[in-house]
Amino acid sequence: AEGSGGAMGGSASLIPRDLLGEYQELTFLSKQEILLAYKRFSELLPKEERESAFSARVPKSHILTLPELRANPFQHRICHVFSTSETGDDSMSFEDFLDMLSVFSDSATSDIKSHYAFRIFDFDDDGALDRKDLEQLVNCLTGQGEESQLSSAEMEQLIQNILEESDIDKDGTINLSEFQHVVSRSPDFASSFKIVL
């Protein structure tokens, strides 16, 4: 059966029509984008698993080889938030992958984007952005290099400023609605929160 699938012209024809329609309804992606996503996802799998890409899970280490994620300072958090893996290994199924691309697409609403951004920035997954989350957030954004890292005084000042701006109920953390409020005042947020394959 060597090369038996070759005549079909690649794997794009492997998405059954009804599923394709369902994916279009459930995501912000166009038919073309879904087919491209499927192609990119299959290419992350070993050759012998590509036939069954629908039921396969791609390990996080492979997902992180995508150039779109390789450069993203939140790559590990993104895998974690979108993975439905029950073992907690942050691997992704095709549907996880589509969900991720959908949220990061140009067509996703600002509300959806900010909801997921909040989850990505909530490093300890406790439903609020506290000082520790904010510190990790700043470190991700400024890079881990010696010369770019903030001194503890600068970090303290910055977190103080962020909380003063955002923490409306003054409980020392930023909850989802406070976060969405901040984001709503930042016009470039939605356009910067994207991954295009």
110-193: CATH topology is Recoverin; domain 1 (1.10.238)
Same fold across 18-104 and 110-193: yes
Which of 39-43, 122-126, 185-189 is predicted with the least confidence, judged by mean pLDDT? 185-189
Q: What is the pLDDT of residues 154-166, one digit of tens each?
A: 999 999 999 999 9
Write down the pLDDT at residue 147.
Answer: 76
Q: What is the CATH number of domain 18-104?
A: 1.10.238.10
Angle at 71 between CA 65 and CA 75, to 5 degrees: 70
Neighbours of 149 (CB within 10 A): 14
The answer to whether the beta carbons of residues 130 and 178 sit under 8 Å apart is no
Residue 193's pLDDT band, with cuts at 50, 70 and 90, is confident
In terms of Cβ atoms closer than 10 Å to its own Cβ (0-12, 13-18, 19+), residue 96 is buried
Positive or negative, the CA dihedral 112, 114, 115, 116 is positive
Q: Phi, psi (5° rounding) for residue 174?
A: -110, 120
Can you give the residue ranges of every domain in the chain? 18-104, 110-193
pTM of the model: 0.88
Contact 102, 28 (CB under 8 A): yes
